[in-house]
Amino acid sequence: MTRHLLYAIVFIEGFCSLGAEVIALRRLVPHIGSSIVVTAPTIGFFLLALALGYASGAKVAGNYRAIVARNFLISAALAGLGLAGISVDWMFAHLQPVLVAYLFFIGGVLCPIAWLLGQTVPILTNLMHYERTGEASGTALYWSTLGSFLGSLSLSLLVMQWLGVSAAVFTCALGLLIGALLLAPRDKKIVVFSLLTVTIAAGINYQHQVTTDTAYAEYIVGKVALEGQNNPRALWVNKSVASLLDDSEPPNHTRYIKHLRQILLDDLGFRDKEILVLGAGGFTLSHREPLNRYTYVDIDPAIKEIAEKHFLREAVRGEFIVDDARRFVATSERQFDAVLVDVYSSHTSIPSHLVTREFWAGTRRVLNPDGVLLANLILDGKLETPYARNLLATIDSVFGRCAVDVLHKGKPLSNVELTCFATSQAGKTGIYVDEKNRADLDRVTR
């Protein structure tokens, strides 16, 4: 093996192994979110499998090129098929509870890839001709880590952003197949298996029916059956309905958007006001609403074009800023008459850094002194789970008592709308009892 070929193989291993981890984390987002309790175990299992791969590779005593070529072929098949969107969707749809699907995905797809590719450096180090063992292993690790660095950056910031997650999956599979062919160019079985794998990988990834797939989310725009509406359609973000719209005049929107508009336009009488919306969704709050000025903040730069082209089918009304919601409220010098928090990464999951007291304090920071905070939360209809109680208590600790409207009281999960005022302050509370009842005095002093 020439030195340049060996470096190329090790580079491909690093590129595709970390690429597979990045893709796996992204594939999990629509199903179980991206919180630390998801990402940390996933990374941990990946590193454990990688370590076991190092140990297995160290025991190989011969036939080095053939073993690495075989490992690359199997890894390519696992990546091209197992990381495909249609495969991951099937796992989480048919393997219940969710923990079973997660463990199947990690144990059956991601960890085997890490274990097989982890053997590469220990095996190929045997073919490196250096005077010192440390020099051989250090050089191999350099090219492997360099591949990991470039793989993580290029797949997440370039391929996923411009071509989608499925293209990133195919890129990893193709890279591993190229590596296998470089290792065994005259082996007919490897050539045939590589051609078959790349064909199947291309086909199965092409079958993932999404409108757009970015590094942040999976977007689908499609028709829905809603009685009494004219050509209704929905925007799904990470398997969750984010917005509804039809072609009626005036258009029909989701119930929670109608409720928020009622609060802003009817109850508060907003006219010519500055309204900040954290989490763009389908941009429906300002759709055909000319009375106020809207500023949308969303972390995904692609969402505006998706909404305009496939969902709204017209230009978004309002300004669009690409930024993380927490960073924006912490750094912006602008003040708004109203802030709407409508941030979801999947299903009922608000990113964990957007539920803390510090984040809600940031939203208060960008409010005018007489401004209003609106928040769309997905909680249990009875508000009796620890998450519901703690989240509401967190917001109350910043804004004082907020008005709470549960829109679907009979359902396990409901849109819960909060209305909080910047003029309010969090304060100590007491309990009225027969022995010391201050109710009448409190009414007078208010």
Give the pLDDT confidence of 314-329 residue by residue, as tens digits. Answer: 999 999 999 999 999 9
In CATH, what number is assigned to the domain containing residue 277? 3.40.50.150
Identify whether residues 280 and 146 lie together within a single domain.
no
Identify whether residues 131 and 55 lie together within a single domain.
yes
* CA–CA gap between residue 31 and residue 412 (Å, rounded): 18
Identify whether residues 174 and 300 lie together within a single domain.
no
287 and 265 Cβ atoms separated by less than 8 Å: no
- How many domains are there within the chain? 2
Question: Does residue 347 have a pLDDT over 60?
Answer: no
- In a domain, residue 234? The reply is no
* CA–CA gap between residue 218 and residue 225 (Å, rounded): 21
Question: Does residue 278 have a pLDDT over 90?
Answer: yes
Torsion of CA 145, 146, 149, 153, to 10 degrees: -150
| 445 or 422, greater pLDDT | 422
* CA–CA gap between residue 102 and residue 1 (Å, rounded): 40
- In a domain, residue 63? The reply is yes
**Cα 141–chain centre separation:** 31
In CATH, what number is assigned to the domain containing residue 30? 1.20.1250.20
**Residues whose CB falls within 8 Å of the CB of residue 338, separated by 6 or more in sequence, listed in order:** 264, 268, 270, 273, 274, 275, 276, 367, 371, 372, 373, 374
φ/ψ of residue 320, rounded to 5:
-120, 130
| pLDDT tens digits along 199-208 | 998 888 887 6
Q: Which domain holds residue 169?
A: 3-209
pLDDT value for 3: 84
Identify whether residues 126 and 198 lie together within a single domain.
yes
Task: Name residue 304's beta-bridge partners.
Answer: none
H or E segment and range at residue 55: helix 36-58
In whole angstroms, how far apart are CA 16 and each of 10, 80, 157, 175, 239? 10, 11, 15, 7, 27
What percentage of the chain has pLDDT greater than the value 90?
A: 62
Pairing type for strands 274-278 and 336-341 reads parallel
Range ranked top by mean pLDDT from 20-29, 201-210, 214-223: 20-29
Question: Does residue 446 have a pLDDT over 60?
Answer: no
| pLDDT tens digits along 41-53 | 999 999 999 999 9
- In a domain, residue 406? The reply is yes
* CA–CA gap between residue 403 and residue 268 (Å, rounded): 14
Pairing type for strands 319-322 and 336-341 reads unpaired
Identify whether residues 143 and 196 lie together within a single domain.
yes
**Half-sphere CA count of 358, side-chain side, radius 13 A:** 6
Please state the rounded mean pLDDT for residues 395-412. Answer: 90
pLDDT value for 209: 66
Identify whether residues 56 and 187 lie together within a single domain.
yes
End-to-end CA gap in the chain: 85
pLDDT value for 408: 84
Question: Does residue 77 have a pLDDT over 70?
Answer: yes
pLDDT value for 135: 80
Identify whether residues 179 and 263 lie together within a single domain.
no
Q: Which one, of 380, 386, 372, lies nearest residue 422 by Cα?
A: 372
What percentage of the chain has pLDDT greater than the value 70?
A: 97
Question: Does residue 213 have a pLDDT over 80?
Answer: no
- In a domain, residue 385? The reply is yes
Identify whether residues 202 and 72 lie together within a single domain.
yes
> What residue has token string 């989608």?
164
Q: Which one, of 272, 257, 267, 276, lies nearest residue 364 by Cα?
A: 276
What's the predicted TM-score (pTM) here? 0.81
- In a domain, residue 97? The reply is yes
